[in-house]
Structure 1
Amino acid sequence: MTRRRPLNPNAKIALDEMKYEIANELGITNTPDYNGNMTSRQNGLFGGYVGGNMTRKLVEMGEKELIDRNKRY
């Protein structure tokens, strides 16, 4: 099985930044004193919220890029 990797290595950094920004917007904080005391269920719930919002924002960004690209032609 192949592992998914970003086409651009800098994309991982940008996606991580986006992940923390969205989590912060949702009130989900990763505090420095966090020691992994969340259950799998809690992590799944929070991850779902963050992942869903990340996907939504990435789709919006892609749509905007396509619209902007078509305006240039």
Structure 2
Amino acid sequence: MSKNLVPEAKEGLSRFKMETAAELGVTFGDYNGNLTSKQCGSVGGEMVKKMVQAYEQNL
């Protein structure tokens, strides 16, 4: 089970995931069993990429 280190960030992370998925054309819903591992992985990978870029810009 995945746990957020900052529980207050859960809503923001969920919104960030949905925005990123929409940009990639991946539709998340109540049931995601129809999505491939590649689709789900692309969303997570893009999220990490954006977070790293944001961090580097703030250095």
Please give the TM-score of this superposition, normalised by the length of structure 1: 0.63
Unaligned residue ranges in structure 2 (runs of 5+): none
Give the alignment's Cα RMSD to 1 decimal: 2.2
Is there any run of 5+ residues in structure 1 with no aligned partner, and where? 67-73
- Percent identical among aligned pairs is 34
Equivalence map 1:9-28=2 (5 Å): 9-28=7-26
Hey, what does 1:60 align to over in structure 2? 53
TM-score (normalizing by structure 2): 0.75
How many residues of Structure 1 are paired with residues of Structure 2 in the alignment?
58
Q: Structure 1: which 4+ aligned runs deviate by more than 3 Å?
A: 34-37
How many Å apart are 1:36 and its aligned residue?
A: 4.5
